[in-house]
Amino acid sequence: MELPGIAVAIWMFVGLCASVVGYPNGKVREACTSMVPCHGGSPQLSPEHAITVNETEFKPGDSIEVRLSGPDFEGFFIQARDAEHLGSPAVGSFVLADRRHSQLLTCAVSHTSKAKKKDIKVYWIAPGDAPKRVQFLATVVKKYRIFWVKIPGPIVSQPDALSPTPPSHATSEAMSTSHPVSHISKPFSASGCGMTKFCIRNPANCDPGSASCFFLSFQHEESSVFIEMSGPSEGYLAFAFSHDQWMGGDDAYLCVNEDHRVHVSTAHLKERSHPLLDAENALEDVSWRFADGVLQCSFRRSVRLPAYTGRFNLDTSYYIFLADGEASEGGLIHKHHCQPLVTDGLYNITGLPQDIGGSRAPRLIKAHGALMFIAWITTVSIGVIVARFFKPVWSHSFLLGKELWFQVHRMLMLTTVILTSISFVLPFVYRGGWSHQAGFHPYLGCAVMALTIFQPLMAGFRPSRHPQELNVTLSLKILFTMIIVTMFLGMDLPALDLPDPWDTYAMIGFVAWHVGTDVLLEIHSYCLIRKVIEDDRVQILQSLTSAEAEGHLFKQIVLTIYVCGNIVFLVAFLVAINQV
């Protein structure tokens, strides 16, 4: 029996045979064939390691769990071969069980961990043209020169009842080794987006081949639509057509990764609940691929499907949702961990091809974030500095009959109260009540809102000469600290998840900027008082005024720089909010 040369195996001779990575294919194939590690020495005789499988029967496309265990070892190499012709090339492909720390491996890829292991779990995926009986073989490297070659493992077989091998598509070795679990033949491309097909991409204009791109495309061909969906997900990807921007009553399509096989299903979404997958779907030409953490699937459906009640006609306009999330064993899907992407309007995917983006944050929540940043990064923080340090500077200038510093301070605080109040209402409008998923953020937010309103009332909204100045500053500082904490909590909530870890660093940067300015002015005031006292002997009046004048200039320069810095921070945050 002549087997197509599907040689797929797993190399872990790290450091020992690391150069295999750079080898041209032929050399790798040689290693795949001999299963002998490339460092000298001769193999040990009685093996200490054993291969076990969780099943003894398989059908094409099945995955079988294969374990290699025994005393500590550094490297390994597992192959599946036709049990009747052990000299023939390897069959099927392997996936490492721990997908987070490793990648899909082929003969040409080595794992970079030399760490000792006792137990390794991989999945073998039976190819469509698998022989009747397949045996697993392993080469194990314990230490540099201590290794075993072709340790025989269990034999698994196809049930006799099954008709002989389905028509074999003559895949070349290179093809099948580079796409071990692939059924999609041609990589997805964004080149026709906006011209021949309707695309939704997030981030904007990303390439569906890249590791962080969510991609959905609809190609209208006469009476059917060919759909491609791709994105970084270990669990599932789904999209839905909806009449509104809320979940519920929608027509959904899901690609679920279930033990290294991807199932494509449809579902009719009821109110924000678990989707019930349809037993039957009207999808054709289904294919999929899962590699390197990117899930892809494609299928075709008719524009109109009157026989299937849950399916919407595609010649109408809809909001389109794109979601991803985790799937547990058995393919049960969990709620998406971040907000689904939603288009900003109704789109007719069979109409004019477009290339659009979408947003993962609802507009009301974006407005909430933006107003809070404007209020607290600019108005309050500047108000704090002005109240604390600018009273002497501006106490002789008047605006509308009041001291300038007080007018500036009051204007900033009033703006804050107005912006904060508007912003405060928005999440409640959006949720239609209290959000129970937002942790401490709403509680702290309410406390901040209350203090924002009471702070001016309590600290007195009039220009006071003496003790209250300290109160204003102190209560403002407490409020400022609280709002910073609230913002830290808010930035990572799913409804407005600013990019990590950028948001944390930017916020820490802003706090450092504010505290730094505060400390600088504090030190400056202190020095100024010292100077005045020292110069006391000379001529009190003259020195006081000149020192003060000098101090005022310094303070004004610092304030100008501080305000510019705040505007830079504000713009950065607003841009980030706009891009979510």
Find the shortest distance in angstroms from Cβ 561 to ligand NAG: 54
Find the shortest distance in angstroms from Cβ 52 to ligand NAG: 11
Residue 517 CB contacts under 8 Å (≥ 6 apart), including other chains: 385, 558, 562
Find the shortest distance in angstroms from Cβ 97 to ligand NAG: 8
Where is 510: in which H helix or E strand?
A: helix 502-534
Applying CB under 6 A, which of residues 123, 214, 406, 424 lies at the interface with ligand NAG? 123
Q: In this complex, which beta carbon is closest to ligand NAG, that of residue 11 or of residue 124?
A: 124
10, 78 Cβ separation under 8 angstroms: yes
Find the shortest distance in angstroms from Cβ 64 to ligand NAG: 6
Find the shortest distance in angstroms from Cβ 61 to ligand NAG: 10
User: How many residues does the structure list for the chain?
Assistant: 580
C-alpha 466/C-alpha 306 separation (Å) is: 79
Find the shortest distance in angstroms from Cβ 317 to ligand NAG: 5
Find the shortest distance in angstroms from Cβ 358 to ligand NAG: 19
Q: In this complex, which beta carbon is closest to ligand NAG, that of residue 311 or of residue 555?
A: 311
What are the two backbone dihedrals, phi and then psi, of residue 87, each rounded to the nearest 5 degrees?
Answer: -85, -5
Applying CB under 6 A, which of residues 217, 233, 257, 350 lies at the interface with ligand NAG? 350
Query: Rule CB under 6 A: is residue 302 a binding residue for ligand NAG?
Result: no
C-alpha 580/C-alpha 349 separation (Å) is: 23
C-alpha 444/C-alpha 427 separation (Å) is: 14
**Sole window of 25-33, 129-137, 311-319, 459-467 interacting with ligand NAG (rule: CB under 6 A):** 311-319
Query: Rule CB under 6 A: is residue 351 a binding residue for ligand NAG?
Result: yes
Applying CB under 6 A, which of residues 30, 207, 234, 315 lies at the interface with ligand NAG? 315
**Residue 515 corresponds to which tokens in the numbers above?**
């505290």
**Sole window of 136-144, 315-323, 365-373, 520-528 interacting with ligand NAG (rule: CB under 6 A):** 315-323
Query: Rule CB under 6 A: is residue 316 a binding residue for ligand NAG?
Result: yes
Find the shortest distance in angstroms from Cβ 221 to ligand NAG: 12
The residues with which 320 forms a beta bridge, in sequence order, are 241
**Taking the C-alpha atoms of 202, 204, 207 and 209 in order, what is their torsion angle to the nearest 10 degrees?**
-10
**Sole window of 309-317, 505-513, 528-536, 559-567 interacting with ligand NAG (rule: CB under 6 A):** 309-317
Residue nearest to ligand NAG (CB): 351
Query: Rule CB under 6 A: is residue 354 a binding residue for ligand NAG?
Result: no
Q: Among residue numbers 232 through 271, which ones bind ligand NAG (CB under 6 A)?
A: 259
Q: In this complex, which beta carbon is closest to ligand NAG, that of residue 301 or of residue 368?
A: 301
What are the two backbone dihedrals, phi and then psi, of residue 336, each rounded to the nearest 5 degrees?
Answer: -55, 135
C-alpha 246/C-alpha 364 separation (Å) is: 13
45, 113 Cβ separation under 8 angstroms: no
Find the shortest distance in angstroms from Cβ 260 to ligand NAG: 7
H helical segments located in 55-198: 173-178
Find the shortest distance in angstroms from Cβ 310 to ligand NAG: 20
C-alpha 453/C-alpha 376 separation (Å) is: 14
Q: In this complex, which beta carbon is closest to ligand NAG, that of residue 110 or of residue 302?
A: 302
171, 95 Cβ separation under 8 angstroms: no
SS (H, E, C) 253-297: EEEEEECCEEEEEEEEECCCCCCEECCCCCCEEEEEEEECCEEEE
Pairing relationship of beta strands 224-232 and 63-73 according to DSSP bridges: unpaired
Q: In this complex, which beta carbon is closest to ligand NAG, that of residue 248 or of residue 351?
A: 351
> Binding pattern to ligand NAG, positions 319-338, x when CB under 6 A?
--------------------
Q: In this complex, which beta carbon is closest to ligand NAG, that of residue 64 or of residue 382?
A: 64
C-alpha 338/C-alpha 343 separation (Å) is: 15
Q: In this complex, which beta carbon is closest to ligand NAG, that of residue 199 or of residue 382?
A: 199
C-alpha 370/C-alpha 131 separation (Å) is: 62
Residue 399 CB contacts under 8 Å (≥ 6 apart), including other chains: 407, 408
| Count of residues touching ligand NAG (by CB under 6 A) | 13
C-alpha 286/C-alpha 265 separation (Å) is: 10
Instruction: Please report where in the chains the tokens 């201590």 appear, as a residue.
Output: 146
Q: In this complex, which beta carbon is closest to ligand NAG, that of residue 351 or of residue 439?
A: 351
Q: Among residue numbers 37 through 76, which ones bind ligand NAG (CB under 6 A)?
A: 54-55, 63-65
287, 297 Cβ separation under 8 angstroms: yes
Find the shortest distance in angstroms from Cβ 79 to ligand NAG: 18
Find the shortest distance in angstroms from Cβ 3 to ligand NAG: 23
**Sole window of 287-295, 312-320, 430-438, 508-516 interacting with ligand NAG (rule: CB under 6 A):** 312-320
Query: Rule CB under 6 A: is residue 317 a binding residue for ligand NAG?
Result: yes
C-alpha 473/C-alpha 459 separation (Å) is: 9
**Residue 304 corresponds to which tokens in the numbers above?**
């109109």
Q: Which residues bind ligand NAG (CB under 6 A)?
A: 54-55, 63-65, 123, 259, 315-317, 348, 350-351
